[in-house]
């Protein structure tokens, strides 16, 4: 009887362990309780974590650009956009005109317009209008000189004092009328002067010229001088 009871308990224990084994085979470790999973995971964490050294920082060097050369300094008084290429001169003019028929001292105005091609050479046009004393029984003497040519300057325009010289050709008109003679003639004007720079746009000018004319079937060699102002624009 005892043997029969012991055999029954063995059969019941074997049958009870079969479902647990089958569930483990079907569902894997996930079907186990959480406590068993934690315990199993802790059992496999036997190898300690290795501390890897930090990766070396890679330095990226920015290539240095070559230094740009300094732009050349512009001379004062000249510019491509604003500039002082043009000059307008206006002032007082004294003319001594001496010829065979008459001689007169005349006073008037001169007007000069110049365009500077560069710092030392300019194209220039000049007009002088003067009135003098009465000649030939009360007839007023008149003098008009109109010439054009080139002008050369010494020293940069930014200097305070700029000397210059010019050579101009053109014509002259002289009154009074002389019998059987023309009042108009070819004229050659040679001379020079200096500009005193007051500001970037304003100068004071003084000049003296030799003027050769061909009037009254003869040649005349006369002198004129003037002072005035010059506007740079």
pLDDT over threshold 60, residue 124: yes
pLDDT at 77 over 50: no
Structure tokens at 110: 């001169």
pLDDT digits (tens, 9 = 90+) for 181-222: 899 999 999 999 999 999 989 999 999 999 999 999 899 999
Burial of residue 151, with CB atoms counted within 10 A of its CB: 0-12 exposed, 13-18 middle, 19 or more buried: buried
Three-class secondary structure of residue 183 per DSSP: coil
The pair phi, psi for residue 169, each rounded to 5°, is -130, 155
145 forms beta bridges with 128, 172
| CA gap 139, 7 in Å, rounded | 172
pLDDT at residue number 155:
75
Q: Is the pLDDT of residue 42 over 50?
A: no
Where does the pLDDT of residue 133 fall: very low under 50, low under 70, confident under 90, or very high at 90 and above? confident
Q: What's the whole-number mean pLDDT along residues 109-123?
A: 96
- Give the pair of three-digit tokens for residue 121: 């050479």
Lowest mean pLDDT among 15-24, 78-87, 173-182, 203-212: 15-24
Q: What element of type H or E holds 126? A: strand 121-135
Mean pLDDT of 15-41: 46
Q: What are the chain's domains?
A: 86-232 (2.40.160.20)
Task: Give the per-residue pLDDT at 80.
Answer: 45
| Residue 56 CB neighbours (<10 A) | 6
């Amino acid at each position: 009887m005892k043997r029969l009871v012991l055999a029954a308990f063995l059969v019941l224990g074997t049958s009870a362990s079969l479902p647990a084994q089958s569930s483990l085979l079907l569902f894997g470790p996930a079907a186990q309780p959480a406590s068993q999973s934690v315990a199993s995971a802790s059992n496999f964490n036997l190898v300690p974590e290795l501390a890897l050294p930090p990766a070396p920082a890679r330095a990226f060097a920015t290539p240095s650009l070559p230094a740009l050369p300094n732009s050349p300094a512009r001379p004062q008084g000249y510019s491509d956009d604003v500039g002082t290429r043009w000059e307008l001169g206006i002032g007082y003019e004294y003319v001594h005109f001496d010829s065979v028929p008459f001689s007169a001292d005349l006073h008037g105005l001169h007007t000069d317009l110049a365009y500077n091609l560069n710092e030392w050479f300019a194209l220039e046009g000049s007009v002088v209008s003067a009135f003098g004393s009465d000649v030939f029984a009360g007839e007023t003497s008149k003098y008009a000189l109109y010439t054009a040519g080139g002008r050369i300057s010494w020293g940069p325009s930014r200097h305070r004092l700029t000397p210059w010289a010019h050579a101009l050709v053109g014509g002259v008109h002289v009154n009074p009328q002389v019998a059987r003679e023309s009042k108009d003639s070819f004229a050659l004007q040679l001379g020079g002067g200096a500009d005193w720079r007051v500001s970037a746009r304003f100068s004071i000018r003084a000049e003296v010229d030799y003027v050769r004319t061909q009037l009254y079937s003869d040649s005349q060699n006369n002198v004129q001088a003037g002072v005035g102002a010059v506007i740079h624009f």
